[in-house]
């Protein structure tokens, strides 16, 4: 049986609370942002072709810093989930961070509908999905899989208990 819980991307009580912040035009906001640079370094090490080493103080940290702020700069909308898991956020293509003590997720890209990233995250950390999710319709699932890939799509379907795979 599929388990539903509204994501907030559509309507009703929400899994996500949406925040509007403009980090690009207000750099004073930056001082209230925290992120796990070690986790991001581990996640992006293949992208940057460096070996993760906590003791390394080289260019790696500059690359991680730049990658982090680039991911936050695509949109002014950020999503505060009910359940925060940095590893799963990164697996779903989201960038996790904390702003003034609130755990948030950035979409980390632009130019297309990236709501499947948030839907997959909700499915994987909470085992629920909004009943209007793209994942649950044939046409929407094709888009979902294009954005998330086959493996994450299947994990999300299994996580919500969807039996019509």
Domain ranges of the chain: 16-159
Per-residue model confidence as pLDDT tens digits over 20-76: 998 888 778 888 999 999 998 888 876 665 555 555 556 667 888 888 888 888 888
What is the predicted pLDDT for the residue at 8? 64
* DSSP 8-state assignment for residue 101: T
Place of tokens 């986790």: 39
List pLDDT tens digits, range 85-129: 999 999 999 999 999 999 999 998 888 889 999 999 999 999 999
pLDDT of residue 52: 54
Helix, strand counts (H, E) of the chain: 6, 5
How far from 49 is each of 46, 58, 59, 69, 143, CA to CA, in Å?
Answer: 5, 13, 11, 19, 30
Query: Does pLDDT of 11 surpass 70?
Result: no
β-strand 95-99 against 33-34: which pairing, if any? antiparallel
Degrees to nearest 5, angle at CA 107 with 101 and 108: 100
What is the rounded radius of gyration, in angstroms, for the C-alpha atoms of the chain? Answer: 16
Q: Is residue 18 pLDDT above 60, yes or no?
A: yes
Alpha carbon distance 4, 130 (integer Å): 6
How far is 23 from 72, CA to CA, in rounded Å?
A: 8
The pLDDT assigned to 111 comes to 80
- Please name the residues in contact with 39: beta carbons below 8 A apart, sequence gap of 6 or more: 86, 87, 90
Joined tokens for residue 70: 């680039």
Q: Whole-angstrom Cα distance, residue 19 to residue 99?
A: 10
User: Which pLDDT belongs to residue 87?
Assistant: 97
């Amino acid at each position: 049986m599929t388990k539903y819980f509204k994501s907030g991307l559509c309507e009703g009580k929400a899994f996500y609370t949406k925040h509007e912040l403009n980090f690009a035009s207000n750099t004073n906001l930056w001082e209230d942002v925290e992120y796990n640079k070690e986790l991001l370094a581990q996640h992006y090490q293949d992208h940057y072709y460096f070996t993760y080493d906590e003791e390394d103080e080289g260019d790696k940290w500059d690359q991680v810093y730049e990658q982090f702020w680039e991911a936050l700069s695509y949109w002014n909308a950020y999503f505060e989930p009910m359940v925060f898991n940095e590893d799963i956020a990164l697996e779903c293509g989201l960038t996790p961070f904390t702003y003034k003590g609130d755990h948030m997720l950035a979409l980390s890209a632009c130019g297309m509908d990236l709501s499947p990233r948030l839907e997959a995250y909700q499915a994987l950390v909470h085992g629920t999905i909004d009943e209007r999710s793209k994942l649950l319709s044939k046409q929407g699932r094709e888009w979902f899989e294009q954005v998330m890939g086959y493996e994450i799509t299947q994990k999300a379907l299994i996580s919500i208990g969807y039996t019509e795979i």
